[in-house]
Structure 1
């Protein structure tokens, strides 16, 4: 793998972790939101990532591919049930006096935030190490 591909791989990893951090922030921001029905209650978003593959050897090559990064393949909603609370005085209450909260688990989201932050830092470190290796290689040639 060329050193330039390392930048592409680490850069795509940083972009993916940045998206993951934004999704966690959105989930945490909506953790205490309420709705008048379980169908309209906020459901935690989860990102799906997939390897980004690049063909090697031109368009005729079909079996020789190498992973050069990651991309977002989609967004799903957490399928855990939403919580219902009896609050007849709440303006969002349904006809039976219930409001429906989100299914966001703040502890899970904080764990995701720490994991995404550390992964982002690891990708930054990979890029810095690769840059240092390239600079050392150039200085050896002069």
Structure 2
């Protein structure tokens, strides 16, 4: 049994989930950053992970899914605040179209998936150590 492949699969999963956590945290951090409606402001991002079409054995040798970032393509939130320095002529201030509930769900699911990959890696490590113990005793 090739333990390096098992560790690589968990490592690739942890890398993808860490990226999801970072993107969700960035989106949440910029959710209340106003910008002038005529200017280009912060665009929320999303993580897209795609496995390359191949046999399962080939996926084990690969570095894992290809993780890319792309803009979420959501409209900005417009809040009426005529006294704000970035308000337009109608008194609206633009904020990034970040949905905090969606970002929190993404953050929690990525955290749980990361924890599952850590558990899988720890199990593979325990199996490898047990195999060495059995081999040493025999």
**Counterpart secondary structure, 1:115:** helix
Counterpart for residue 48 of structure 2? 48
Q: Give the strand-richer structure, 1 or 2.
A: 1
52, 55, 58: which is aligned to 1:66? 58
124, 135, 141: which is aligned to 2:135? 141
Gaps in structure 2 of 5+ consecutive residues: none
After TM superposition, the structure 1 stretch with the greater mean CA deviation from structure 2, 45-54 or 100-109, is 45-54
Cα deviations by residue, 1:21-66 (Å, 9 ceiling, x for unpaired): 1111101101111111165232221011122678xxxxxxxx8962
Runs ≥4 residues deviating over 4 A: none
- 1-structure distance, mates of 2:104, 2:11: 23
The alignment covers a number of residue pairs equal to 133
Seen in structure 2, the aligned counterparts of structure 1 residues 10 and 105 have a Cα distance that, compared at 3 Å, is same
- Give the TM-score, by structure 2 length: 0.85
Using the TM superposition, give the Cα deviation of residue 89 of structure 1 relative to its aligned residue in structure 2, in angstroms.
Answer: 1.2
Seen in structure 2, the aligned counterparts of structure 1 residues 64 and 138 have a Cα distance that, compared at 3 Å, is closer
- Give the TM-score, by structure 1 length: 0.83
